Chain A
Amino acid sequence: MTREADVPGDLIEDYLDRLLVSLSGSPRQVRHTLAEVEAHLRDAEAEGIAAGLPQETAQVQALERIGPVHAVTGRPALLTRPSAALLRRLTLTAALVGGAGFVAIGGAGLVGRLLQALKGNLFMTTPFPPGTYTRADCARWLAGDPATRSCVTAMLADHAFDYLLQAAACGLMGLAGLAAYLVLRQRWNDRATMTALPAGTAEGLGAILAAIAAVACLGRVFDLETVQRGVGVGQPLSLGIAAAVAAAAFALALWRRLRAARLRTT
């Protein structure tokens, strides 16, 4: 029996559309499953028509017999609902953008370490004003830096070290986030998830957020340069540089993603 592939009102076509966006696996696996399920449904439809049923009734019967889409995918119904696919896509987006953001902060730590080596701790952090810290604070800072006798010098070294340590911790968290993204993306590599948001959403969001962070940090650099004559510029400068690099990387990924999507449609 031969049919037109796209018949308006064809219940089997509607079922196959739903199945297509719910199937996971490689493109070949998806094509094969779709082809064999279509052959199955057309067989069942032909059987009903041969038994004297009208075409629509035969299709309804064929669909009742094969069961819901999640019976064919072998996955729980919850995982084949569009809302679940959107949730999965949002999780992937958060893992990618968040992971890359934290990695960028880790990168800022590396830039900060370089700036610290070149320009010193006073460039990295602003000292507390006199009278805002106690002798005990001083003793603690000096204990961490026995080579110096100056409380302010020890305080600056302590604060600069804290910044670099926190940046390194953020970098490790970012790597964990990106690893989670890669694992989840492999697990959720189905059409429903991948098409739940427009192509390039994650890259676009990452580029916008990173660009905002870069502008804010570099604006702070300008402020510190003019108001404090460069004292404590190192932190916002390193963060601004890392954010600008992240924004550029996201923008490049967005451009590539959109170009690939355009090529697929032409």
Chain B
Amino acid sequence: MKAEKLKGHLDLLLLSVLSRGPGHGYEVITRLKLRSDGAFALPEGTVYPALHRLESAGLLASSWDVVAGRRRRIYHLTLAGEAALAEQAAQWQEFSGSMARVLGASLARALAASTTAVPGHAPAAGLAGGAA
């Protein structure tokens, strides 16, 4: 997924990742990649300004600890962060549900067309002519 598209949802993703337990920056990025099966790969540096912004907003708090011989800044969700996560997740749920309902029929046709299309040939009738 394009990093630009992801940026708009980065706060929600970070809050969600940290809701599973505290973690340092590198750990947060690793969890994000694992949980998205590698789809959410963005320049890793962009996570730090987002983490700092969330901390300034009081949604995250951080403390320093030594992990595997290195000083780490460990982030965890605050109560305000939990509330913000719940609110943003509900908004996302509503938005994605609406999108799915709008796209439903055409999405099914596009998926069907992409599975039947043969490289070098005209696309299937579902996409070209619009017949069901």
Chain A residues in the interface with B (C-beta under 8 A): 1-2, 29, 32-33, 35-37, 39-40, 42-44, 65-69, 71-74
Contact = CB atoms under 8 A, between A and B. Distances in A.
A71 B46 contact: yes
Contacts of A36: 24-25, 48, 72-73
B48 A33 contact: yes
B95 interface: no
B70 interface: yes
- Most B C-beta atoms less than 10 A away, residue of A33, A36, A39, A73: A36
Nearest to A1: B69
A66 B3 CA distance: 13
A67 B48 contact: no
Contact of A65 (B44, B49, B50, B70): B44
Contacts of B50: 74
A14 to B, nearest CB: 15
B52 interface: yes
Contact of B26 (A1, A32, A43, A68): A43
Contacts of A69: 45
B45 A71 contact: yes
Interface in B1-59: 24-26, 29, 43-46, 48-50, 52-53
Nearest to B73: A36
A39 B48 contact: no
A37 B25 CA distance: 8
27 contacts: A1-B69, A32-B73, A33-B48, A33-B52, A35-B71, A35-B73, A36-B25, A37-B48, A39-B25, A39-B70, A39-B71, A39-B72, A40-B25, A40-B44, A42-B70, A44-B26, A66-B43, A66-B45, A67-B44, A68-B43, A68-B45, A72-B45, A72-B46, A72-B48, A74-B48, A74-B50, A74-B52
- Helix, strand, loop or mixed for chain A's interface? helix
Contacts of A67: 43-46
Contacts of A73: 49
Contacts of A37: 25, 45, 48
Contacts of B53: 74
Contacts of B72: 36, 39
Nearest to A25: B52
Nearest to A15: B45
Contacts of A43: 26, 70
B24 A39 contact: yes
Contacts of B26: 39-40, 43-44
Contacts of B45: 37, 66-69, 71-72
Given A32-B73, A39-B70, A74 B49 contact: yes
A113 to B, nearest CB: 49
The 10 A-B residue pairs with the shortest CB-CB distance, nearest first, are: A67-B43, A74-B49, A71-B45, A72-B45, A67-B45, A66-B45, A71-B43, A36-B73, A43-B26, A66-B44
Nearest to A36: B73
A89 to B, nearest CB: 23
Interface in B61-99: 69-73
